[in-house]
Structure 1
Amino acid sequence: MFSAEKQTHDHVFLSASHDENAGRTLWVVALTFVMMVAEIAAGYWTGSMALLADGFHMATHAGALSIAAAAYAFARRNAHNGRFSFGTGKVGDLAGFASALILMLVALGIGVESMIRLFAPTAVAFGEATVIAVVGLLVNIVSALMLSGGHSHVHSHDHPHAHSHGGDNNLRSAYVHVLADALTSVLAIAALLAGRYLGWIWLDSAMGIVGALVIAKWSVGLLQQSANVLLDVTDEHVAEEIREVLERSGDVTITDLHVWRVGPDARAAIISVLAKVEVSADAIRARLRVVHEISHLTIEYRVA
C-alpha cells in the first residue's frame, strides 16, 4: 500500500521576514557603496595607499552584498515558479556560498598585501587615514545593527506548521561581510594610532594579517553551513525527532528517512514506514504534526 500527499499546495518556503531582510540588505548595499566611493576619493586626495586599499577592499564587499540583495529579489520573483520543484528557499544559500568564496579571496588578498608591506613598509598619511577609518567603522556598526535585526519565522502551507528558528545564510553572509569590514576598520584604527604616536609602522601589516586570518575563519564557517544546505545534508536534529515520534509506540518502523532544508526555516521530509494494520497513514501524519520544522511531508506507507 502506498500513500503520499495528493492535495494541491504551493512550495513557497521563504521566511516570513524575507522582504524585511531584503530591505535591510539594500540599505546596507547603499551605505557600503557610498563609503567605498568616499574612501577611494580620500585615498587619491591624501595619497594614502592604506585608504585606497581599504576602499577597493570595500568594493568587493559591496559586490558581495549586491549578490545577497539580488538573491532576495530572485527568490521572491520566482517563489511560485513551477520550474523550481521545492521553491526558491535555497537561493539565499547559493548566494551565501558565493559570498563566502568572495570573502575568502578578500582574506587572501589582505593577507598577501600585509605580508608584502611587513617587509617593505610604505608611507601612510596617519591623520587623514584614521579619520576615514573611524567613519568607515561607524558605517559598519550602523550596517551591522540593521542586519542583526533580521529574524526568521516560518511560512508554511497545509502541512504541519513550523516555528523553529532557522538560518538565513544569505542574511548571514551579508552580516559577516559587514563584520569583516568592521574588524578591518578596528584593526586599521589601532595600527594607525600606534604608527602615528608610537612609530610602530610594522603594526599596520601585522594587524592586516590578523584580520585576514579571522575573516578566513568566518568564511570557512559560512562555506560549510551553506554547502550543507545546497548538498541536502540530513538535518539530524529533525530526523531524530521524527524517529522518536513515530517509533516510540512500537507499532511503526521507519525503513527509510530523508530530511533536508528547503528554506531558511523549512524542512522537507520523505518517510518510508512499515506499520501494523491498525495504524493508518493519516494517523502517522497526525503524529508528525508535533515536528514543527516539517513544511513538506511525503509518506510511503506499507502494512506489516
Structure 2
Amino acid sequence: MGAGHDHGQQVLRAGEKHRGRLWAAFALLAVFMVVEAIGAWVTGSLALLSDAGHMFTDVLGIGMALAAITAASRAARDGQRTFGLYRMEVLAALANAVLLFGVAVYVVVEAVRRLGEPPEVLVGPMLAVAVAGLLANIVAFLLLRSGAQESLNVRGAYLEVLGDLLASVGVIVAAGVIALTGWWYADPIVAVAVGVFILPRTYRLGRAALRVLVQAAPPHVDVAEVREGLHGVAGVADVHDLHVWTLTSGMEVASAHLTLTSGADLATVLGAARQLLHDRFEIEHATLQVEPQGADGVCDGAHW
C-alpha cells in the first residue's frame, strides 16, 4: 500500500514551497539569539538571557521543520532506511526539551536568588537588544504566517515565534520599568515569568517526543475504536495483531491482520479498511495483512 509514500510527498509539497521563508527565519533568529545571549552577558540582564533561551526554542523548532522537509525529500533514497529520516525530528525535539529544561531551571533559580539582592543592569543596551529581538521575531512571524495554514511543521515553528514575540515584549517592559522607576526587581521577575512560561511547553515537548519514541498510540487515536472500526468493515471476521504509532509529527502509522469472512473480496475489504483508517482516524499509512478463515496455524503474530 503506497499511502506512506503519498503522505511523504504531501509533507514535502506543503513544506517545500515555504523552505526559503523557513531558512530566512532560521538565519534571522539564530543571529539574534546570539546577540541576545551576548547582550545578557554584557548588561547582566537575566530577563534578556531568558528571552535568548526562549529564542533558542524558535531556532531549534524551525530547524526541526527544515529537517522534516529534508527527510521527506530523501525518504526513498536509501533502501536501508525504510522509513526515511523522519525520526530525526523527534530526536531533535527530545534533545531540545532536555536542554531547555536545564536553561529554564537555571533562569528561575538565578532569578529567585536575585530577588533577595537584585543587581543593577545596563538598561540602555538591554532595551536596545530587546527591541532588536522583538523586531526579529516580528519579521520571522510574518515570514511564517502564510505557511502555518498549510504545513504542520511550519505551524509549529510559527507558534514558537509567536510565544517568543510575547517574551520579548516582557523584556522591553522590564527595561522600561527599570529606566523610569529604577525598580531593579523587574528584571528577575520577568525572567521568572519567561522561565515559567517555557517549562510547561518543554514538558509537553519532551513528553510528546518520548511518546513517539516508545511507539505509543497517538493520544487522539483510541486503539479500541480502531479495532472496532476495522471489525465493522464488511467482510472482516476478526482483527488481531493491531499496532498504531506515530512515525513523526502528523504522520500516524498502523498495521493489522484482518481475517476475512468466507467469500469476501480481498480488494474490496482492503479499500474499505484503508478508507476507514484515513477518514475516521487520520491514519495515512497502514500495512494490512489479510488472511482467510482457519489461518490461525499459519499466522503467528508477535508475542511481545
Q: Aligning the two structures, in what range does the TM-score lie when normalised by the shorter sequence?
A: 0.7 to 0.9
User: What one-letter code is carried by the residue in structure 2 that aligns with 1:181?
Assistant: D
Question: Of residues 194, 208, 218 in structure 1, which corresponds to 2:191?
Answer: 208
Deviation of 1:143 after TM superposition, in Å, equals: 1.7
- How far apart, in 2, do the equivalents of 1:17 and 1:208 lie? 37
| 8 Å contact kept, 2:230–2:239 | no
| 8 Å contact kept, 2:94–2:210 | yes
Partner secondary structure for residue 24 of structure 2: helix
Unmatched runs of 5 consecutive residues or more in structure 1 = 154-164
Deviation of 1:107 after TM superposition, in Å, equals: 1.2
2:79 corresponds in structure 1 to: 82
Unmatched runs of 5 consecutive residues or more in structure 2 = 295-304
Q: Structure 1 residues 23-32 or 202-211, which shifts more? A: 23-32
Deviation of 1:28 after TM superposition, in Å, equals: 1.9
- How far apart, in 2, do the equivalents of 1:32 and 1:136 lie? 8
- How far apart, in 2, do the equivalents of 1:188 and 1:28 lie? 21
User: What one-letter code is carried by the residue in structure 1 that aligns with 2:217?
Assistant: T
Under a length normalisation based on structure 2, what TM-score does the superposition of the two structures give? 0.76
Deviation of 1:13 after TM superposition, in Å, equals: 2.7
CA displacement 1:266-286 (0-9 Å, x = unmatched):
332211223321223322202
2:273 corresponds in structure 1 to: 288
Q: 1:222 to 1:57 in 2, by over 3 A?
A: closer
| 8 Å contact kept, 2:131–2:168 | yes
1:223 corresponds in structure 2 to: 206
User: What one-letter code is carried by the residue in structure 1 that aligns with 2:67?
Assistant: A
| 8 Å contact kept, 1:39–1:55 | yes
CA displacement 1:36-86 (0-9 Å, x = unmatched):
454466668xx5222873686478457635752673475256422122222
Partner secondary structure for residue 267 of structure 1: strand
Q: 1:260 to 1:69 in 2, by over 3 A?
A: closer
2:287 corresponds in structure 1 to: 297
Question: Of residues 196, 217, 229 in structure 2, which corresponds to 1:234?
Answer: 217
Cα RMSD over matched residues? 3.5
| 8 Å contact kept, 1:31–1:143 | yes
User: What one-letter code is carried by the residue in structure 1 that aligns with 2:199?
Assistant: A
Partner secondary structure for residue 273 of structure 1: strand
| 8 Å contact kept, 1:242–1:288 | no
Structure 2 residue 160 is the aligned partner of structure 1 residue 184 = no
- How far apart, in 1, do the equivalents of 2:89 and 2:37 lie? 30
- How far apart, in 1, do the equivalents of 2:208 and 2:142 lie? 23
- Aligned-residue identity in percent: 24
User: What one-letter code is carried by the residue in structure 1 that aligns with 2:124?
Assistant: G
Partner secondary structure for residue 23 of structure 2: helix
User: What one-letter code is carried by the residue in structure 1 that aligns with 2:178?
Assistant: G
Question: Of residues 4, 13, 16 in structure 1, which corresponds to 2:8?
Answer: 13
Deviation of 1:176 after TM superposition, in Å, equals: 5.7
| 8 Å contact kept, 2:212–2:245 | yes
Partner secondary structure for residue 123 of structure 1: coil
- How far apart, in 1, do the equivalents of 2:204 and 2:233 lie? 35
Say which structure is richer in helix: 2
Q: 1:12 to 1:273 in 2, by over 3 A?
A: closer
Structure 2 residue 255 is the aligned partner of structure 1 residue 270 = yes
Structure 2 residue 95 is the aligned partner of structure 1 residue 98 = yes
- How far apart, in 1, do the equivalents of 2:201 and 2:170 lie? 16
CA displacement 1:126-162 (0-9 Å, x = unmatched):
2332232122112113223433443587xxxxxxxxx
| 8 Å contact kept, 2:51–2:167 | no
| 8 Å contact kept, 2:233–2:272 | no
Structure 2 residue 67 is the aligned partner of structure 1 residue 71 = yes
- How far apart, in 2, do the equivalents of 1:55 and 1:283 lie? 56
- How far apart, in 1, do the equivalents of 2:169 and 2:202 lie? 19
| 8 Å contact kept, 1:13–1:87 | no
- How far apart, in 2, do the equivalents of 1:104 and 1:22 lie? 29
Identify the structure with bigger relative contact order (alpha carbons < 8 Å, sequence gap 6+). 1
- How far apart, in 2, do the equivalents of 1:40 and 1:273 lie? 57
Q: How many residues align?
A: 282
Partner secondary structure for residue 8 of structure 2: coil
Under a length normalisation based on structure 1, what TM-score does the superposition of the two structures give? 0.76
Partner secondary structure for residue 200 of structure 1: coil
Deviation of 1:255 after TM superposition, in Å, equals: 2.4
| 8 Å contact kept, 1:88–1:263 | no
